[in-house]
Structures are given as C-alpha cells and as structure tokens.
Structure 1
Amino acid sequence: MSIGRLSEFDVQTGQWSSYIDRLDMYFKVNKITDDLKLPTMIATMGDEAYELLVNLASPNKPSDLVYQVVVDMMRNHLQPTPSSLAERFRFRQKRQGAEEDIAAYVAELKKLARNCKFAANLNENLRDQFVCGLKSDVIRQRLFGEDDSVTFVEAVNLATSLEAAERDAAVVESAASTNETGSNKTSAVHTLMQSRRGGGGGRLRGRRRSAGMRPTFTTASAATTYERGSRANCAACGATNHVYADCRFRDYRCSLCKHIGHLRRVCSWDDGKLSRGVVTDRRERQKEGFHYNDADRETSDEEEENIVENLNLMGLDSYKAI
C-alpha cells in the first residue's frame, strides 16, 4: 500500500518545480526504483500535462525518454529561467502592504528571492530589504538601533514582537476612547435630567415670557393692559426684555409728572397733560384689588439716573456677540 497521494498537475496555475518536489518525496517514501519513476509520473500527471509532454517530446514518445530529461523539458517550457537582474529588481521594489502583516511580508520576500541568485548573501539581502520595506516607521527606527550583526531571523522576530505590541496598544486605546465617549454621554444625560428636575424653573419661566406665552388674568381690563404693554417697550421703564406687567418700576412715582406707574425716562407729559394709558392702568389695578404700600415711592433725579444706567446694563446682558 502506497503512502500519500499524487494529484494531477495543473498546467495553467501549477508550479512544475513544486510538483516535482512532491513527486520525488513520493518516490522516496514508497521506495520506487529509478526505472519506475517515469511510468509513475506519466500515469499520474493528468491528460492536459501529458498532451503537453507529447508535443514537447515529438517526434519521440515520452515513454522513450528518461525521467530526468522529461523533468528538465517540462521545466524549461513551464518555468524558463528568469533574468536574475530582473528578479532582483522586483525583489528591491517589494514593500510591505497596508493590510499585510509581517509574516505575509516575509513569505513574499522569500518567494521573490528564489531566482535572484544571492547564494551566500541571501540572508543579508533578505534582512536589508525587510527593514527597508517595513510600513511602520517606529519598527524601522527600532531596527536601525540594532547592531550590524543582527541576522535576518533576529530582525524578523523583533519586528514581529513590536508589531504585536502596536496592535495591542491600538486595541487598548480604542477601548479607552469608547469608554470615555460613553462617560461623556452619561454625564450629558445626567446634566440634562438635573436641569429638568430642578434649578431651571426660572429659566423656563423666562423662556415662556420671551416666547410670548400669555399669563392668566382675572379681569378683561387687566388682560387688555397686558396686551397693550406686550406690543411695545415696557411702559414703566422702556426696557425691551420684559413687559409692563412684570416690571418692578411700575410702582415708582415719576419725578416729572409725579404720577405712579412709570419712570421719567418714559414719561409722556405734554403741556400739563399726561397720557392716560398708565394712569388708567393704575386705576384699573386698584379696582381689581391691588393695594399699594411702602413699595410706592417717588424717585429723585439722581436715583432715576442710576436706574437708567442699570437698565442699559441689563440690555447689554442680553447682547450676544456675532
């Protein structure tokens, strides 16, 4: 019983030298004699390969030749000896690919070096091209720091360990970045929930006012007064960031006309006649049950100048830079 199995040779994609190497090992392990090598090869090589052999051996028959002659004949046709200079040029152009790891890069270098005829200088040339073609500048600089006596195998082992370290560091950094992003998102959600649960009531009320949400009034006259004040600047102080109903100066006494309900800066006194808007609002609010106490006060000229300055500063607080 024979050991192993011989497959047919694929003329289109197969490597004849590799096929012959396997064939020789089959002959050796099964102790096939020299006179049986050629018949065994012809019987197992397949129809396409045999037809090629028939054409190459013409006018002789393949069976009339000897084993080594047939091997050389097929090799010269399928794998003609390439130019060593051309092979060395391809070898020198080899660089590690973007998606190629060091193990695959080393295997490709050795394949390209097969026909370069480096002889005794093979390992030295492999080492030099391996270092020059590395895609990682960090690994290359680390190898540059080694002694000139470093061998090809030692360089490959060192580069492989450094590549593994870089890969592990990238995984750790990616995991840390993911955790940090998740933590930032959790913090943002926590802040949002805190602002919704409490501490934001004043801002919410301010947004409702600025959005023009209508408050609830007990009488039609009060609602009319609110609508009149909301369509223009505040009738009490002239500011634009609130309405008359919310103004803290509507209980102040004007230093010009001596009426309560506005400041001098917005007073509409004309020839001894005061616009009835504020006075009417004052009287209507008294009818609705509003009672004025010590909060009603008369402003002096100096105090009103300070109020005007504060109002100007309040206007600047709402300014946003472009």
Structure 2
Amino acid sequence: MSAAFTPFIGSINNFDYQQHDWVTFKSKLQQFFLANDLNDVSDKAGLKRRAILLSAFTDESFKLASNLVLPKSLEEIGFGDIFKSLDAHFTPKRCGFAVRSQFYAATQQPGESYAQWAVRLRGLAAHCSFKHLEDALLDKFVMGMSAGPEREKLFGMDIDDLSLAKAVDQAESVRCARTAAAASAPAGSGCGPLFKMDGGPRPTTTGAATSEKCAVCGRKNHKTSECRFANYKCKKCNNRGHLRKMCKKMNYVGLCDTSEGDDVLTE
C-alpha cells in the first residue's frame, strides 16, 4: 500500500532570471522549505529540494543553470552546489564606497512619507557595512529630509535622546499637527501677498490700470486703499496716512530727505 500524499504548504512561483530578482526568489524558496520541513535531515540527499528548485525555473533559467554547472549536468550536481553556483552568478560584487555613496546621496522624495523614507534608507544601507548602522541611519534620515517644520524640529532635539524610530514618530507628529492646524483655520484667514511697488500698472478687477493718483504715495498703479504706505508717518507734518510728497501742508523751501524717493517740495 503506497503512502498517502501530503500536499505542500504554500507554493513557489516560476523564476525567470530576466524578470525576477534571485535574492527575493531564494528567500521565498527557503521559507517554502522551512514550512514543509525540507532540510538536511528530512531530505539528506537534497533530491526533493533540487527537484522543487529546478521545476520552478523557466526554460531560459533552466538553460542558464545548466551552463553554470558545465561540464556536469544538473542531475549530477547536488542541491547545495547548484544553489552556490546561482548565488555566485546573481549576487554582484559590491564596492563598499560606491554603495555608501548612493546612501549618502539619497534624499527624501516629493510625496514620500517619513516612514517610507526610513524604510528606503534601510534598504540602501543593507550593503554599506556601517559599524554603527543606527547612527548612520538617524543622521541620514534627518539630514536628507525635505526642508520644513519637521526637519527643524528634529534639528533642535538632543541627539542622545533620538533613535530612528523616535525621529520618524516626531516627524509624523509635527506633520499631523501642521495638517490639522491648516484644516481647522477659518477660510480667508491667511495673509495675502504684500503689494509690490514695481512702478508698473496694477490691474483692477476689470484688468485696466486706475487713472487716479494714490492719495498716500502719489502713484497711479494702485488704489489708495491698497497702498502699503498707508500707516507711514509723513516727515513733513508728522501725521500718518500719506508720504511727504503728498502732504498738503505748505512749508518753507528746503532739501528733502530722499530716503523714500520723495520729490523736493517748495512753498
């Protein structure tokens, strides 16, 4: 009587070396072996593991594996040796400083959350061989952040009290508070841009320039109600609401201070 067939737990997708990452596939395959209790004890010769590995290969991947073990065939090579050959082929040799250069050059991208930025940094640091990984991650996380209140907040904190996880939490807290404050602000409470005195015509609501002089400064490119000098004090009469060249109080002839661009007034 034949033994009952026990189905495997989980499944393994096909591996195409031209489209898939070997490291990712290898990790998933090892988890599959673990879940199904396939190891050096239960599968001493590695025949089951070799069969599962090779059956997951596409035709092109199978040909590549065959070429890597030449002059022997895949049926003659043990599972462990096939694994080592594939590792050597797919795992590139890395230059330590070149990898670190990519890490240090990274910056937070537009639309990237602080949690995503931290995760991406961990990936970039995977092959950097930092002696103090957490310190390097914290430094780059803060220094590579987009400019804003979140970055300023972390710059003002004591480094000894920070870890990468705490830095992410602090940045998210500031972002959430800023977002909530902006959402709760009354409509129209924001300050508009200051009127720019550029000497050119200022469009009115109809798109045409006003023909009347401003009673405050004398220009024609804006209305009196829009003048930025409305609260300035006249240097001639000491009253507020107009500049000296628009002062109606007549005085003696003299040279005027031209610090505001006023004309010489004569009585």
Output the amino acid matched with 2:54. Answer: I
Equivalent-residue separation in structure 2 for 1:135 and 1:52 (angstroms)? 44
Note the aligned Cα RMSD (angstroms). 2.4
Equivalent-residue separation in structure 2 for 1:69 and 1:170 (angstroms)? 61
User: C-alpha displacement at 1:141, in angstroms?
Assistant: 1.8
Output the amino acid matched with 1:27. Answer: F
- Relative distance call for 1:60 and 1:145 in structure 2 (3 A) is same
Equivalent residue of 2:146, what SS? Answer: coil
Equivalent residue of 2:187, what SS? Answer: helix
Output the amino acid matched with 2:64. Answer: L
Equivalent-residue separation in structure 1 for 2:103 and 2:55 (angstroms)? 38
Output the amino acid matched with 1:106. Answer: A
Alignment match, 1:147: 158
Q: Which one has a bigger Cα radius of gyration?
A: 1
Superposition map of 1:21-60 within 5 A: 21-32=27-38, 33-34=43-44, 35=46, 36-60=48-72
Superposition map of 1:236-247 within 5 A: none
Alignment match, 2:19: 13
- Relative distance call for 1:160 and 1:64 in structure 2 (3 A) is farther
Contact 1:84 1:116 in 2 (8 A): yes
Contact 1:39 1:63 in 2 (8 A): no
- Relative distance call for 1:176 and 1:66 in structure 2 (3 A) is farther
Contact 1:38 1:67 in 2 (8 A): yes
Alignment identity in percent?
26
User: C-alpha displacement at 1:165, in angstroms?
Assistant: 2.3
Output the amino acid matched with 1:139. Answer: E
Output the amino acid matched with 1:130. Answer: F
Contact 1:62 1:70 in 2 (8 A): yes
Superposition map of 1:58-77 within 5 A: 58-77=70-89
After superposition, give the CA deviation of every residue in 1:148-175 in whole Å (9 maximum; x if it has no partner): 22111111121122222233334344x7
Alignment match, 1:274: none
Q: TM-score, normalised by structure 1?
A: 0.51
Equivalent-residue separation in structure 2 for 1:71 and 1:124 (angstroms)? 35
Counterpart selection for 2:173 from 161, 170, 175: 161
- Relative distance call for 1:69 and 1:179 in structure 2 (3 A) is same
- Relative distance call for 1:60 and 1:132 in structure 2 (3 A) is same
Alignment match, 1:131: 142
Equivalent-residue separation in structure 1 for 2:117 and 2:147 (angstroms)? 13
User: Greater shift after overlay, 163-172 or 126-135?
Assistant: 163-172
Equivalent residue of 1:98, what SS? Answer: coil
Output the amino acid matched with 1:142. Answer: K
- Relative distance call for 1:139 and 1:63 in structure 2 (3 A) is same
Contact 1:110 1:126 in 2 (8 A): yes
User: C-alpha displacement at 1:24, in angstroms?
Assistant: 0.8
Equivalent-residue separation in structure 2 for 1:85 and 1:53 (angstroms)? 31
Query: Are 2:110 and 1:95 aligned?
Result: no
Where in structure 1 are there 5+ consecutive unaligned residues?
181-322
Equivalent-residue separation in structure 2 for 1:147 and 1:117 (angstroms)? 26
Query: Are 2:121 and 1:109 aligned?
Result: yes
Contact 1:87 1:115 in 2 (8 A): yes
Output the amino acid matched with 1:123. Answer: E
Output the amino acid matched with 2:9. Answer: I
After superposition, give the CA deviation of every residue in 1:77-128 in whole Å (9 maximum; x if it has no partner): 223121111110000000001222212212211111111112x511111111
User: C-alpha displacement at 1:76, in angstroms?
Assistant: 2.4
Equivalent-residue separation in structure 2 for 1:169 and 1:40 (angstroms)? 57
Equivalent-residue separation in structure 1 for 2:84 and 2:188 (angstroms)? 61
User: C-alpha displacement at 1:179, in angstroms?
Assistant: 11
Q: Which has the higher helix share?
A: 1
- Relative distance call for 1:81 and 1:170 in structure 2 (3 A) is farther
Output the amino acid matched with 2:121. Answer: L
Equivalent residue of 1:176, what SS? Answer: coil
- Relative distance call for 1:114 and 1:13 in structure 2 (3 A) is farther
Equivalent-residue separation in structure 2 for 1:111 and 1:72 (angstroms)? 24
Q: TM-score, normalised by structure 2?
A: 0.61
Q: How many residues align?
A: 179
Equivalent residue of 1:87, what SS? Answer: helix
